Structure 1
Amino acid sequence: MTKKFVLWVHYENGEHYNDAACAIATSDSPDSHFVYHGSFNPYGYMSRDCTLFQDDDGTAYFISAARDNADLHIYRLQEDYLNVERLVGKLWQGEYREAPAVFKRNGKYYMLSSFCTGWDPNQGKYAMANSMDGPWGMLSDFGDETTYRTQPAFVLKRSEQEYLYFSDRWNGSDYFQSSYVVLPIEFNGDIPILNIYSTLSFERDANSIAGHS
Protein backbone atom coordinates (compact mmCIF):
# COMPACT_ATOMS: atom_id res chain seq x y z
CA MET A 1 0.00 0.00 0.00
CA THR A 2 1.15 3.55 -0.69
CA LYS A 3 -0.19 5.01 2.59
CA LYS A 4 -1.54 7.92 0.54
CA PHE A 5 -5.00 9.33 -0.04
CA VAL A 6 -6.12 8.44 -3.57
CA LEU A 7 -8.67 10.58 -5.44
CA TRP A 8 -10.59 9.38 -8.51
CA VAL A 9 -12.68 11.89 -10.46
CA HIS A 10 -14.65 12.34 -13.66
CA TYR A 11 -12.45 14.21 -16.14
CA GLU A 12 -13.49 16.54 -18.99
CA ASN A 13 -11.28 19.11 -20.73
CA GLY A 14 -13.40 22.21 -19.99
CA GLU A 15 -14.29 22.77 -23.65
CA HIS A 16 -16.72 19.93 -24.38
CA TYR A 17 -18.15 16.82 -22.75
CA ASN A 18 -16.58 14.23 -25.02
CA ASP A 19 -13.48 13.09 -23.11
CA ALA A 20 -15.61 11.04 -20.68
CA ALA A 21 -12.53 9.89 -18.78
CA CYS A 22 -11.41 9.34 -15.20
CA ALA A 23 -8.45 11.01 -13.52
CA ILE A 24 -6.34 10.15 -10.46
CA ALA A 25 -4.50 12.24 -7.87
CA THR A 26 -2.75 11.35 -4.61
CA SER A 27 -1.77 13.19 -1.45
CA ASP A 28 -0.40 12.62 2.03
CA SER A 29 -3.34 14.64 3.35
CA PRO A 30 -7.04 14.39 2.47
CA ASP A 31 -7.51 18.14 2.04
CA SER A 32 -4.45 19.56 0.25
CA HIS A 33 -1.41 19.13 -1.99
CA PHE A 34 -2.78 16.49 -4.33
CA VAL A 35 -0.44 15.34 -7.10
CA TYR A 36 -2.19 14.82 -10.44
CA HIS A 37 -1.37 11.54 -12.22
CA GLY A 38 -3.31 12.07 -15.45
CA SER A 39 -6.56 10.91 -17.04
CA PHE A 40 -7.53 7.83 -19.05
CA ASN A 41 -10.44 5.74 -20.27
CA PRO A 42 -10.45 2.40 -18.40
CA TYR A 43 -10.00 -0.36 -20.99
CA GLY A 44 -11.01 2.23 -23.60
CA TYR A 45 -14.51 2.73 -22.16
CA MET A 46 -16.15 6.08 -21.51
CA SER A 47 -16.31 7.05 -17.83
CA ARG A 48 -18.56 9.80 -16.48
CA ASP A 49 -20.51 9.87 -13.19
CA CYS A 50 -18.49 7.74 -10.80
CA THR A 51 -17.91 6.61 -7.24
CA LEU A 52 -15.45 4.52 -5.21
CA PHE A 53 -16.20 1.76 -2.74
CA GLN A 54 -13.72 0.13 -0.33
CA ASP A 55 -14.74 -3.29 0.96
CA ASP A 56 -14.00 -4.59 4.47
CA ASP A 57 -10.87 -6.41 3.29
CA GLY A 58 -9.44 -3.25 1.69
CA THR A 59 -10.35 -4.21 -1.88
CA ALA A 60 -11.45 -1.07 -3.73
CA TYR A 61 -13.82 -0.66 -6.66
CA PHE A 62 -14.44 2.13 -9.17
CA ILE A 63 -17.99 2.39 -10.51
CA SER A 64 -18.72 4.69 -13.44
CA ALA A 65 -21.23 5.43 -16.18
CA ALA A 66 -20.10 4.18 -19.60
CA ARG A 67 -21.34 4.01 -23.21
CA ASP A 68 -22.80 7.54 -23.15
CA ASN A 69 -24.30 6.75 -19.74
CA ALA A 70 -26.22 3.72 -21.03
CA ASP A 71 -24.36 1.30 -18.72
CA LEU A 72 -22.71 1.28 -15.29
CA HIS A 73 -19.33 -0.47 -15.10
CA ILE A 74 -17.69 -1.89 -11.98
CA TYR A 75 -13.88 -2.10 -11.97
CA ARG A 76 -11.77 -3.70 -9.28
CA LEU A 77 -8.74 -1.54 -8.51
CA GLN A 78 -5.15 -2.62 -8.18
CA GLU A 79 -3.78 -2.98 -4.65
CA ASP A 80 -2.29 0.53 -4.70
CA TYR A 81 -5.62 1.98 -6.01
CA LEU A 82 -3.77 3.76 -8.85
CA ASN A 83 -5.25 1.79 -11.76
CA VAL A 84 -7.98 -0.66 -12.61
CA GLU A 85 -7.18 -4.36 -12.25
CA ARG A 86 -10.13 -5.80 -14.11
CA LEU A 87 -13.64 -5.06 -15.31
CA VAL A 88 -15.96 -6.84 -12.86
CA GLY A 89 -19.24 -6.25 -14.64
CA LYS A 90 -21.48 -4.16 -16.88
CA LEU A 91 -24.70 -3.42 -15.03
CA TRP A 92 -28.21 -2.69 -16.36
CA GLN A 93 -27.05 -2.15 -19.91
CA GLY A 94 -29.23 0.34 -21.76
CA GLU A 95 -30.95 1.55 -18.57
CA TYR A 96 -29.10 4.91 -18.47
CA ARG A 97 -28.14 5.02 -14.80
CA GLU A 98 -25.84 7.67 -13.32
CA ALA A 99 -24.79 9.11 -9.93
CA PRO A 100 -23.94 5.69 -8.38
CA ALA A 101 -23.44 5.36 -4.62
CA VAL A 102 -22.47 2.05 -2.99
CA PHE A 103 -22.61 0.80 0.59
CA LYS A 104 -22.56 -2.51 2.45
CA ARG A 105 -24.86 -3.58 5.27
CA ASN A 106 -25.18 -6.96 7.01
CA GLY A 107 -23.12 -8.64 4.31
CA LYS A 108 -25.20 -7.28 1.43
CA TYR A 109 -24.08 -4.71 -1.12
CA TYR A 110 -26.36 -1.86 -2.18
CA MET A 111 -26.06 0.48 -5.13
CA LEU A 112 -28.15 3.65 -5.44
CA SER A 113 -28.40 5.44 -8.77
CA SER A 114 -30.34 8.00 -10.75
CA PHE A 115 -31.87 7.98 -14.23
CA CYS A 116 -30.35 10.39 -16.77
CA THR A 117 -32.64 13.43 -16.87
CA GLY A 118 -30.09 16.24 -16.93
CA TRP A 119 -30.49 18.70 -14.06
CA ASP A 120 -34.06 17.56 -13.32
CA PRO A 121 -34.56 15.05 -10.48
CA ASN A 122 -36.17 11.67 -11.05
CA GLN A 123 -37.17 8.46 -9.31
CA GLY A 124 -34.11 7.01 -7.57
CA LYS A 125 -33.46 3.28 -7.76
CA TYR A 126 -31.49 0.77 -5.70
CA ALA A 127 -30.23 -2.74 -6.34
CA MET A 128 -28.66 -5.40 -4.12
CA ALA A 129 -26.01 -8.09 -4.44
CA ASN A 130 -24.23 -10.61 -2.24
CA SER A 131 -20.88 -9.69 -3.82
CA MET A 132 -19.49 -6.73 -5.73
CA ASP A 133 -18.88 -9.23 -8.52
CA GLY A 134 -22.64 -9.77 -8.67
CA PRO A 135 -25.04 -10.85 -9.81
CA TRP A 136 -26.88 -7.60 -9.04
CA GLY A 137 -30.63 -7.69 -8.62
CA MET A 138 -33.32 -5.73 -10.38
CA LEU A 139 -33.62 -1.97 -9.96
CA SER A 140 -36.28 -0.98 -7.40
CA ASP A 141 -37.70 2.42 -6.39
CA PHE A 142 -35.93 4.42 -3.68
CA GLY A 143 -37.62 7.53 -2.27
CA ASP A 144 -40.46 9.29 -4.08
CA GLU A 145 -40.85 10.07 -7.81
CA THR A 146 -38.10 12.73 -7.62
CA THR A 147 -36.09 11.16 -4.74
CA TYR A 148 -37.21 14.27 -2.81
CA ARG A 149 -35.59 16.44 -5.49
CA THR A 150 -32.16 14.90 -4.97
CA GLN A 151 -29.55 12.83 -6.81
CA PRO A 152 -27.23 10.38 -4.98
CA ALA A 153 -23.71 11.57 -4.13
CA PHE A 154 -22.51 9.00 -1.56
CA VAL A 155 -23.62 7.02 1.49
CA LEU A 156 -21.86 7.51 4.82
CA LYS A 157 -21.85 4.59 7.25
CA ARG A 158 -22.27 6.11 10.72
CA SER A 159 -22.56 2.83 12.63
CA GLU A 160 -23.31 -0.80 11.83
CA GLN A 161 -26.99 -0.01 11.42
CA GLU A 162 -27.02 3.71 10.59
CA TYR A 163 -26.38 5.08 7.13
CA LEU A 164 -26.70 8.62 5.81
CA TYR A 165 -27.71 9.44 2.24
CA PHE A 166 -25.73 12.45 0.97
CA SER A 167 -27.16 13.93 -2.20
CA ASP A 168 -27.15 16.85 -4.61
CA ARG A 169 -30.15 19.10 -5.10
CA TRP A 170 -29.41 20.71 -8.45
CA ASN A 171 -30.66 24.13 -9.51
CA GLY A 172 -30.61 23.92 -13.31
CA SER A 173 -31.30 27.63 -13.77
CA ASP A 174 -28.42 28.69 -11.49
CA TYR A 175 -25.91 25.92 -10.78
CA PHE A 176 -24.18 27.98 -8.08
CA GLN A 177 -27.41 27.90 -6.08
CA SER A 178 -27.43 24.11 -5.97
CA SER A 179 -27.26 22.54 -2.52
CA TYR A 180 -26.79 19.30 -0.61
CA VAL A 181 -29.40 17.21 1.20
CA VAL A 182 -28.63 14.63 3.91
CA LEU A 183 -31.26 12.06 4.91
CA PRO A 184 -31.14 8.85 6.96
CA ILE A 185 -31.57 5.56 5.16
CA GLU A 186 -34.07 3.47 7.08
CA PHE A 187 -34.61 -0.25 6.56
CA ASN A 188 -37.50 -2.68 6.48
CA GLY A 189 -35.51 -5.89 6.79
CA ASP A 190 -33.01 -5.59 3.95
CA ILE A 191 -35.09 -3.04 2.01
CA PRO A 192 -33.70 0.53 2.13
CA ILE A 193 -36.29 3.26 2.65
CA LEU A 194 -35.82 6.99 2.16
CA ASN A 195 -38.16 9.44 3.89
CA ILE A 196 -38.03 13.22 3.87
CA TYR A 197 -37.26 15.18 7.05
CA SER A 198 -36.81 18.91 7.52
CA THR A 199 -34.22 18.48 10.29
CA LEU A 200 -32.05 15.73 11.73
CA SER A 201 -30.45 15.38 15.15
CA PHE A 202 -27.58 13.07 16.03
CA GLU A 203 -26.43 11.46 19.24
CA ARG A 204 -22.70 11.48 19.97
CA ASP A 205 -22.48 7.71 20.33
CA ALA A 206 -23.51 7.32 16.66
CA ASN A 207 -26.35 5.01 17.62
CA SER A 208 -29.28 7.32 17.15
CA ILE A 209 -30.61 9.58 14.42
CA ALA A 210 -33.87 11.46 14.95
CA GLY A 211 -35.71 12.96 12.00
CA HIS A 212 -38.29 15.71 12.26
CA SER A 213 -40.81 16.41 9.53
Structure 2
Amino acid sequence: MQVVWDYRMLLLQGVWITIQVTVTATMLAIVLSLLAGLARQSNVWLLRTPATVYVELFRGTSLLAQLFWMFFVLPAFGVSMTPLLCGVLAIGLCNGAYGSEIVRGALRSVAREQREAAIALNFNRFQAFRIVVLPQAARIMTPLFGNLAIEVMKASSLVSLITLPDLTFQARNINLVHVVTAPVLIVVLLIYFAIALVISGGTRGVEHALAKGRDRLAA
Protein backbone atom coordinates (compact mmCIF):
# COMPACT_ATOMS: atom_id res chain seq x y z
CA MET A 1 0.00 0.00 0.00
CA GLN A 2 3.04 2.27 0.06
CA VAL A 3 2.56 3.00 -3.63
CA VAL A 4 -0.99 4.18 -2.96
CA TRP A 5 0.22 6.51 -0.21
CA ASP A 6 3.04 7.90 -2.35
CA TYR A 7 0.61 8.75 -5.15
CA ARG A 8 -2.30 9.81 -2.94
CA MET A 9 -2.43 13.32 -4.40
CA LEU A 10 -2.70 12.00 -7.96
CA LEU A 11 -5.47 9.63 -6.89
CA LEU A 12 -7.31 12.45 -5.11
CA GLN A 13 -7.08 14.59 -8.25
CA GLY A 14 -8.53 11.66 -10.18
CA VAL A 15 -11.34 11.29 -7.64
CA TRP A 16 -12.19 14.97 -8.02
CA ILE A 17 -12.44 14.68 -11.80
CA THR A 18 -14.52 11.51 -11.48
CA ILE A 19 -16.92 13.33 -9.15
CA GLN A 20 -17.12 16.30 -11.52
CA VAL A 21 -17.96 14.08 -14.47
CA THR A 22 -20.46 12.04 -12.44
CA VAL A 23 -22.35 15.02 -11.01
CA THR A 24 -22.52 17.09 -14.19
CA ALA A 25 -23.30 14.14 -16.48
CA THR A 26 -26.01 12.93 -14.09
CA MET A 27 -27.63 16.37 -14.01
CA LEU A 28 -27.55 16.51 -17.81
CA ALA A 29 -28.93 12.97 -18.09
CA ILE A 30 -31.84 13.71 -15.72
CA VAL A 31 -32.76 16.92 -17.56
CA LEU A 32 -32.65 15.13 -20.93
CA SER A 33 -34.58 12.20 -19.47
CA LEU A 34 -37.40 14.49 -18.37
CA LEU A 35 -37.50 16.43 -21.64
CA ALA A 36 -37.35 13.36 -23.88
CA GLY A 37 -39.71 11.33 -21.70
CA LEU A 38 -42.34 14.08 -21.67
CA ALA A 39 -41.88 14.74 -25.40
CA ARG A 40 -42.43 11.07 -26.23
CA GLN A 41 -45.69 11.20 -24.30
CA SER A 42 -46.86 14.20 -26.28
CA ASN A 43 -49.51 14.05 -28.98
CA VAL A 44 -47.59 16.68 -30.96
CA TRP A 45 -45.42 14.92 -33.55
CA LEU A 46 -43.00 17.87 -33.74
CA LEU A 47 -42.05 17.06 -30.14
CA ARG A 48 -42.45 13.30 -30.22
CA THR A 49 -40.46 12.54 -33.40
CA PRO A 50 -37.17 14.32 -32.51
CA ALA A 51 -37.32 12.82 -29.00
CA THR A 52 -37.80 9.33 -30.43
CA VAL A 53 -34.90 9.78 -32.87
CA TYR A 54 -32.64 10.98 -30.04
CA VAL A 55 -33.55 8.08 -27.75
CA GLU A 56 -33.19 5.38 -30.39
CA LEU A 57 -29.90 6.81 -31.70
CA PHE A 58 -28.12 7.09 -28.35
CA ARG A 59 -29.67 3.98 -26.85
CA GLY A 60 -28.86 1.89 -29.89
CA THR A 61 -25.18 2.79 -30.25
CA SER A 62 -22.14 2.23 -28.04
CA LEU A 63 -21.28 4.89 -25.47
CA LEU A 64 -17.59 4.37 -26.24
CA ALA A 65 -18.22 4.95 -29.95
CA GLN A 66 -20.20 8.10 -29.11
CA LEU A 67 -17.38 9.34 -26.90
CA PHE A 68 -14.74 8.73 -29.56
CA TRP A 69 -16.91 10.28 -32.26
CA MET A 70 -17.36 13.48 -30.26
CA PHE A 71 -13.70 13.71 -29.27
CA PHE A 72 -11.95 12.61 -32.47
CA VAL A 73 -14.44 13.21 -35.32
CA LEU A 74 -16.20 16.46 -34.45
CA PRO A 75 -12.94 18.51 -34.53
CA ALA A 76 -12.68 17.63 -38.23
CA PHE A 77 -15.95 19.57 -38.66
CA GLY A 78 -14.70 22.52 -36.65
CA VAL A 79 -16.31 21.52 -33.34
CA SER A 80 -13.65 21.17 -30.67
CA MET A 81 -14.38 20.43 -27.03
CA THR A 82 -12.30 19.92 -23.94
CA PRO A 83 -12.03 16.32 -22.75
CA LEU A 84 -14.17 17.17 -19.71
CA LEU A 85 -16.98 18.71 -21.77
CA CYS A 86 -16.80 15.88 -24.30
CA GLY A 87 -17.03 13.24 -21.57
CA VAL A 88 -19.93 14.94 -19.81
CA LEU A 89 -21.88 15.39 -23.06
CA ALA A 90 -21.35 11.83 -24.27
CA ILE A 91 -22.23 10.19 -20.95
CA GLY A 92 -25.12 12.57 -20.30
CA LEU A 93 -26.64 12.15 -23.74
CA CYS A 94 -26.36 8.37 -23.68
CA ASN A 95 -27.80 7.93 -20.20
CA GLY A 96 -30.45 10.57 -20.85
CA ALA A 97 -31.78 8.32 -23.61
CA TYR A 98 -32.08 5.44 -21.16
CA GLY A 99 -33.52 7.71 -18.49
CA SER A 100 -36.29 8.87 -20.81
CA GLU A 101 -37.75 5.38 -20.57
CA ILE A 102 -37.79 5.74 -16.78
CA VAL A 103 -39.83 8.92 -17.12
CA ARG A 104 -42.15 7.48 -19.73
CA GLY A 105 -42.77 4.31 -17.72
CA ALA A 106 -43.36 6.24 -14.50
CA LEU A 107 -45.88 8.56 -16.15
CA ARG A 108 -47.73 5.64 -17.71
CA SER A 109 -47.87 3.87 -14.35
CA VAL A 110 -50.18 6.55 -12.96
CA ALA A 111 -53.70 5.23 -13.46
CA ARG A 112 -55.94 6.98 -15.97
CA GLU A 113 -58.59 7.25 -13.25
CA GLN A 114 -56.29 9.69 -11.44
CA ARG A 115 -56.29 12.03 -14.43
CA GLU A 116 -60.03 11.65 -14.90
CA ALA A 117 -60.61 12.48 -11.25
CA ALA A 118 -58.49 15.61 -11.60
CA ILE A 119 -60.51 16.70 -14.64
CA ALA A 120 -63.71 16.05 -12.68
CA LEU A 121 -62.37 18.44 -10.05
CA ASN A 122 -62.11 21.09 -12.79
CA PHE A 123 -58.32 20.93 -13.14
CA ASN A 124 -56.91 21.79 -16.53
CA ARG A 125 -54.37 19.43 -18.15
CA PHE A 126 -51.35 21.23 -16.75
CA GLN A 127 -52.79 21.36 -13.23
CA ALA A 128 -53.69 17.69 -13.37
CA PHE A 129 -50.17 16.84 -14.47
CA ARG A 130 -48.45 19.05 -11.89
CA ILE A 131 -50.63 18.26 -8.89
CA VAL A 132 -51.77 14.68 -9.49
CA VAL A 133 -49.57 12.85 -12.02
CA LEU A 134 -46.07 14.25 -11.47
CA PRO A 135 -45.85 13.74 -7.66
CA GLN A 136 -46.86 10.09 -8.03
CA ALA A 137 -44.50 9.53 -10.96
CA ALA A 138 -41.64 11.23 -9.09
CA ARG A 139 -41.80 8.64 -6.31
CA ILE A 140 -41.44 5.89 -8.92
CA MET A 141 -38.64 7.68 -10.79
CA THR A 142 -36.46 8.51 -7.77
CA PRO A 143 -34.90 5.08 -7.06
CA LEU A 144 -34.51 4.46 -10.80
CA PHE A 145 -32.73 7.77 -11.25
CA GLY A 146 -30.47 6.72 -8.36
CA ASN A 147 -29.55 3.61 -10.34
CA LEU A 148 -28.99 5.79 -13.40
CA ALA A 149 -26.59 8.02 -11.44
CA ILE A 150 -24.59 4.98 -10.38
CA GLU A 151 -24.42 3.83 -14.01
CA VAL A 152 -23.16 7.30 -14.94
CA MET A 153 -20.50 7.06 -12.24
CA LYS A 154 -19.32 3.71 -13.59
CA ALA A 155 -19.36 4.98 -17.17
CA SER A 156 -17.21 7.95 -16.13
CA SER A 157 -14.17 5.64 -16.20
CA LEU A 158 -14.37 5.74 -20.01
CA VAL A 159 -13.19 9.36 -20.03
CA SER A 160 -9.71 8.04 -19.25
CA LEU A 161 -9.60 6.95 -22.91
CA ILE A 162 -9.81 10.57 -24.10
CA THR A 163 -6.90 11.75 -21.93
CA LEU A 164 -9.02 13.04 -19.04
CA PRO A 165 -7.07 12.23 -15.84
CA ASP A 166 -9.86 10.70 -13.81
CA LEU A 167 -9.44 8.02 -11.14
CA THR A 168 -9.06 5.18 -13.65
CA PHE A 169 -6.55 7.17 -15.71
CA GLN A 170 -4.38 7.89 -12.68
CA ALA A 171 -4.53 4.29 -11.47
CA ARG A 172 -3.48 3.01 -14.88
CA ASN A 173 -0.51 5.38 -15.02
CA ILE A 174 0.63 4.35 -11.54
CA ASN A 175 0.45 0.69 -12.55
CA LEU A 176 2.47 1.37 -15.69
CA VAL A 177 5.27 2.91 -13.64
CA HIS A 178 5.39 0.49 -10.72
CA VAL A 179 3.69 -2.65 -12.05
CA VAL A 180 1.94 -2.99 -8.67
CA THR A 181 -1.60 -3.74 -9.73
CA ALA A 182 -3.47 -5.21 -6.77
CA PRO A 183 -3.15 -2.47 -4.09
CA VAL A 184 -3.93 0.39 -6.47
CA LEU A 185 -6.91 -1.34 -8.07
CA ILE A 186 -8.30 -2.38 -4.68
CA VAL A 187 -8.24 1.24 -3.55
CA VAL A 188 -9.83 2.37 -6.82
CA LEU A 189 -12.64 -0.17 -6.45
CA LEU A 190 -13.24 0.95 -2.86
CA ILE A 191 -13.42 4.58 -3.93
CA TYR A 192 -15.96 3.83 -6.67
CA PHE A 193 -17.92 1.77 -4.16
CA ALA A 194 -17.89 4.66 -1.67
CA ILE A 195 -19.19 7.08 -4.32
CA ALA A 196 -21.97 4.61 -5.18
CA LEU A 197 -22.91 4.39 -1.48
CA VAL A 198 -23.16 8.19 -1.30
CA ILE A 199 -25.44 8.21 -4.35
CA SER A 200 -27.61 5.45 -2.87
CA GLY A 201 -27.85 7.30 0.43
CA GLY A 202 -28.87 10.52 -1.30
CA THR A 203 -31.49 8.66 -3.30
CA ARG A 204 -32.97 7.13 -0.15
CA GLY A 205 -33.07 10.60 1.41
CA VAL A 206 -35.07 11.96 -1.52
CA GLU A 207 -37.39 8.95 -1.39
CA HIS A 208 -37.96 9.52 2.32
CA ALA A 209 -38.74 13.21 1.73
CA LEU A 210 -41.24 12.37 -1.00
CA ALA A 211 -42.83 9.71 1.20
CA LYS A 212 -43.26 12.23 4.03
CA GLY A 213 -44.95 14.61 1.63
CA ARG A 214 -47.31 11.84 0.55
CA ASP A 215 -48.07 10.95 4.16
CA ARG A 216 -48.90 14.58 4.98
CA LEU A 217 -51.27 14.75 2.02
CA ALA A 218 -52.92 11.49 3.05
CA ALA A 219 -53.41 12.80 6.59
**Range class of TM-score, shorter chain:** under 0.3
Rg larger in 1 or in 2? 2
- TM-score normalized by structure 1? 0.22
| Structure with the larger strand share | 1
Higher relative contact order (CA 8 A, sep 6+): 2
- TM-score normalized by structure 2? 0.22
| Structure with the larger helix share | 2
